[in-house]
Structure 1
Amino acid sequence: MKGMTQRSPSIVVVGAGVAGLAAAKRLKEYGFDDVTVLEASEKVGGRVAAATIGSACVDTGAQYIHGATDENPVYCLLKNSGLLSQVSEDGSEKFYNNKRQEVDADVATRVYKIGEDILRYHGSSTGKSLGEHFAEKTKAVIDSSEDDEMKIRMQNVFALVGKDMLIDIGASDLHSVSLDSWEYYTNMGEDLDVPGLMFRLVDMLLEDFPKERLLMKREVSKIKWDGSFSAVKDVPAPPSDESLSAHTEAVSEGNVRQYPVCIVCENGEEILTDHVIVTVSLGFLKAQALNLFSPSLPAEKMEVINKLCFGNIAKIFLEYEQAFWEDGVGTFSFIYEDDSPTSVSTNTTQWLKNIQLFSVLRPKERFGNILIGWCPGDIADLIETMTEEDLSSAITEHLRMFFGKSDIPPPKSVHSTKWGSNRFIKGSYTYLPVGVNGQVMDTLAQPLMGSHRPTVNLQVMFAGEATMKSLYGTVHGALLSGHREADRLAKHYNKDPPSTASLDKQV
């Protein structure tokens, strides 16, 4: 058989989220012509998803660019397309307490910034929890004040900061999150909210990719690797003057290809390939990795999959006939005077206390009157089980209490996301538990080589935000992980850099 470098390799990408589509697009730019993408669901995009509420297109998945700078490829793609001209300026922030009083926004914002800085600790190898660190540092700040009233305000706002961080992480308890979470993390700058626009990124990644090579509703049940699977290449039918035996000999001698990987789909279809790039979510790997691969994944890779945590957040979209909030407001937050930064966690028996953040979709001309309520961890899991009627009733009373207005109407429609119960995703994004740092993600990112066929390298490869210790939990982290694996294959086959794509900076 000819060496693999003497023929065009077959490459299959499992998953049509941002990581998978980015890998496929870049492989095509390198000149690989046998690239197929398998997607289990009926929609592309993965955790970048959209829905229509009223006449507005909203992001049910990611809607923030984490780092609005030219170093961020997602920012650059949306900026160069002209889409960012539709982004509204940030609205004002409002704070209310559970005594139906508006809290001084200047004071709350100053204290909030102190709390954020404490949570974004960038140390290393402490082995402590983020919750323990937050409790210690906020106590020191509170104790340094000589104003008793200010001490109470700081305690309440710091608790709000901690609860908002649970949303950022998707966790249920700050004491379960590693303080070393940002040891290797690359901060690309200020976040940018791009409501209703993130899904356009998926359209850009699909540009010029052959539609016939994107196979939808192809749920993968088994990835067999380190094998030798045979397939007969298509051979033209013999002309009338050629004997059948000569034709058969041509097939047997030069047209049987050996592949190290066989992908089995739920519909019984088998796809043979030289390389597979697995881009499924960490949540899916945690649920299915043990049975998905044959032979099983190496013990060190399974250990990482089991160690890492996959969080969940829920968005609750509330559509109103008319806005009951002031023009120009971007967010409003609810502060409980009995909350403390010493123990920031969720409580499913008082789940409304963890719906403390609401954002207004802006501008009004594009979205009408829509609020988003945000909630993390096991509260998000609970929300996914509730009916729209129950959510509408409970949240309406919640809003009336904090605003002190009994005439706030119920929303005309309610839509909540369900990432945790999506069987192909099972959550929102990755976070690091206590005792684990980002280095383990390098192990998850390592490709699998053959042991029975050691000359056939890069058989099973991995991409996705959970493989990026410097950018996990972000859309650009997912995109760059797809580029990383495409670049790895290009280097393996001595491909020149594509003229249509600039090489990414190493982050």
Structure 2
Amino acid sequence: MVYREKSSDVNRKKKKNNQLNVLTKTDRSDGSDDCNLFTDLPRFPPRVERNAKGAAGLAAASRLVEKGFDPARITILEAENRIGGRIFTVQHGSSLIEIGAQWVHGKEGNVVHPLAEAAGEIRTDIHTLESTGYADDVEMVYRDGRKITADQLKEFKEILQRIYADSRRELAQWKTSLGEYFEYKFGKHLDQGSFTTMDRATALDLLDWAHRAQNIEDGSDNWMETCGVGSLEYHECVGDYTTVWKRGYSALFDILMKNVPKRNNGLQLPLSDRIRLNSPVNLVRWNPDRPNCKVEVVCSDQTYNADMVLITCSLGVLKDRADKLFTPLLPEKKRKAIEGIGFGTVDKIFLEFCKPWWNQQWGGVNFLTQHSKATGDWVEKVMGFSTVRGQPNLLIGWISGPAARICETRPEDEVMRKCSELLRNAVGSDFVYEEPTRMIRSLWHSNPNFCGSYSYRSRKSKDLDVWASDLAEPISDSHGLIRLLFAGEATHDHCYSNVHAAVETGWREADRIFEMVNNSPAPSKL
């Protein structure tokens, strides 16, 4: 929700890699293994869970093959039994649902959009805010059924938009959190009497909803943890921010691997047999004793040797167990970047009904919590429920932060019961409500292959002076050879939290690898 376009001047250290050409001076052993490129670092200890290698890894591998790199020299390790990572399209009935990434966010500057458009995989005729909670046909309702009037909602949105407009020029000089900025500006409007259609308590309840919505957009636990000036690092891509896929976001992998059924172009890249599913990694020994030795990647049933390793696991995984996965420990600056850059949890909750009890004019409901009656229960943080395109019997809800993590630990019957109670109380006076028959939900935090959803710029990253460039910086061994490279949405300077950031950083590291290998006198295993 917050306007984020211009890059802020936060005294970041933009490092230059002075070791890219070191490989040209090194006679490297080819070895006998066929292991070359490793992407995701899965869970520790070894165990098969859900979810898989995502856009950054496949983007890097496909880019290398397109540049002429021998696919036999690439191995992709994946802990899951599927590819996809935080892109997780699920067939449901005659259509599909997105458990993870859902929309192509914008067109200009978004590397995914032209790929999808050229393949005929996106709907250019649909421009909708459906399922976001921001559509005009979504009501704002207290848990006891009291509604915010159209005039009240209009006034609230207008004042909030003024604050967003002010943030364009003011956040660059703001020293504290994004939340403190918005609460300060909102408080000034309250004190100045800007609200004429509601009392102070109602306005603050609406601000609480805006806070929850902002946390979902940012991926933060609390906007008090989001860096005010750091949030300006994010650049939105111009164009429809909720572009819809025809076959779901997973079609991106067909596009990256040149396997697009619609076009049947016959250019499928030979990568499928280079993916090792159900291959969790326990340990990466990245600083060998001699320059002609390999990096060792230890899995539960096999050890792979490679000249270099590309890491594309989530920042959440690195936060959870980087010190266990890498030996020796990663350099201090890298560990600080892992510690400082924010990574939160955003979950979806789908409720399925036998048939719609709502009419076509109803797009959903957002839940307000009256501050004086708040109990602290996780369900109070559910943003609302909205309709789902192509799924007439489903409603989608959003929840983030600590409440989402608690929700993930609760039994399904409890979650469905509490969410249904919210809905029933909010809409019972307008519709003949019927109980849901099924629930489908994401579990991004409790899934040890992700430990959350996506990254954001936290106050801690500013305090530690660590940014995406520090997370993306390659790591060289004691002989000066680059051994570890990093890609993924969290390593992008300006489009973090998005799929197009993952793809772009995968390409970035593939180009880096190709340059190093192309300048090396001996073939390298990646």
Q: Same fold (TM over 0.5)?
A: yes
Unaligned runs of 5+ in 2: 1-22, 41-52, 131-135, 259-268, 520-526
More displaced 10-residue stretch of structure 1: 369-378 or 426-435: 426-435
Q: 1:206 to 1:330 in 2, by over 3 A?
A: farther
8 Å contact 2:298–2:304 — kept in the other structure? Answer: yes
In structure 1, what is the Cα distance between the partners aligned to 2:449 and 2:363? Answer: 33
Shift of 1:339: 7.8
Identity of aligned residues (%): 29
Cα distance per residue 1:89-135 (max 9 Å; x no partner): 42543223225244334652553364366468453364301111111
Structure 1 pair 444/169, CA: closer, same or farther in 2 (3 Å)? Answer: same
Give the deviation of 1:259 after TM superposition: 3.9
1:177 partner letter? T
In structure 2, distance between residues paired with 1:289 and 1:117: 42
8 Å contact 2:337–2:461 — kept in the other structure?
no
> Whole-Å Cα distance in 2 between the matches of residues 348 and 119 of structure 1?
30
Structure 1 residues 163, 339: closer, same or farther in 2, change over 3 A?
farther
Higher mean Cα deviation, 134-143 or 474-483?
134-143
**Secondary structure class of the residue paired with 2:365:** strand
**Cα distance change of structure 1 residues 64 and 416 upon mapping to structure 2, 3 Å threshold:** same
Residue of structure 2 in register with 1:192 after alignment: 242
Question: 1:409/1:145 Cα in 2 relative to 1: closer, same or farther (>3 Å)?
Answer: same
Residue 417 of structure 1, CA deviation: 0.8
Against the structure 1 CA distance between its residues 147 and 50, is the aligned structure 2 distance closer, same or farther, given a 3 Å change threshold? closer
**Structure 1: gaps spanning 5 or more residues:** 231-257, 341-346, 496-507
Between Structure 1 and Structure 2, how many residues are aligned? 454
Q: CA deviation at 1:318?
A: 0.8
**CA-CA distance at 1:416 after TM superposition:** 1.2
Kept in 1, the 8 Å contact 2:155–2:195? The answer is no
Compute the TM-score of the two structures, normalised by the length of structure 1.
0.82
Deviates further, 209-218 or 107-116: 107-116
Aligned match of 2:384:
357
The question of 1:66 aligning with 2:90 is answered: no
- The residue number in structure 1 matching 2:177 is 129
1:215 matched to 2:215? The reply is: no
Higher RCO (C-alpha under 8 Å, 6+ residues apart): 2
Q: Per the alignment, in what secondary structure is the counterpart of residue 485 of structure 1?
A: helix
Residues 228, 260 of structure 1: 8 Å contact kept: no
Q: Is the 8 A contact 1:450 1:459 kept in 2?
A: yes
Could you tell me how far apart the structure 2 residues matched to 1:174 and 1:35 are? Answer: 41
Q: In 2, distance between residues paired with 1:330 and 1:82? A: 28
Structure number with greater Rg is 1
Q: Distance in 2 between matches of 1:205 and 1:157?
A: 42
Partner of 2:349: helix, strand, or coil?
A: strand
Q: Which residue of 1 aligns with 2:303?
A: 270
> For residues 457-480 of structure 1, what are the alpha-carbon distances to aligned partners after superposition, in whole Å with 9 as ceiling and x for unaligned?
x21100111111211111111111
Q: Which of 433, 438, 461 is the equivalent residue of 1:413?
A: 438
User: Once superposed, what is the RMSD of the aligned Cα atoms?
Assistant: 2.9
- On the 8 A contact 1:28/1:35 being kept in 2, the answer is no
The 3 A distance-change label for structure 1 pair 83 and 328 is farther
Paired with 1:181 and 1:209, the residues of 2 have a C-alpha distance of 41
Give the match's secondary structure for 1:174: coil
Question: In 1, are the aligned partners of 2:174 and 2:181 still within 8 Å (CA)?
Answer: no
Q: How does 1:100-499 map to 2 (within 5 A)?
A: 100-105=145-150, 107-109=152-154, 111-112=156-157, 114-115=159-160, 118=163, 121-122=167-168, 123-124=171-172, 126-145=174-193, 148-152=196-200, 154-189=203-238, 190-194=240-244, 197-207=248-258, 208-227=269-288, 258-267=292-301, 269-338=302-371, 349-362=376-389, 366-405=390-429, 407-437=432-462, 440-451=467-478, 453-454=479-480, 456=481, 458-494=482-518
Q: 1:5 to 1:63 in 2, by over 3 A?
A: farther
Write the deviation string for residues 393-440 of structure 1: whole angstroms up to 9, x where unpaired. Answer: 212211111113384111121111111111111110112322424852
Q: Residues 267-311 of structure 1, C-alpha deviation per residue, up to 9 Å, x if partnerless?
A: 2x1211112100011111111210211221001111111122220
Residue 75, structure 1, aligned to residue 120, structure 2:
no
Structure 1 distance, partners of 2:97, 2:375, is 27
Provide the residue aligned with 1:238 in structure 2: none
Whole-angstrom distance in 1 between the partners of 2:381 and 2:467 = 31
Q: Distance in 1 between the 2:337 and 2:322 partners?
A: 11
What TM-score, normalized to structure 2? 0.79
Matched, 1:97 2:138: no
1:37 equivalent to 2:76? Answer: yes
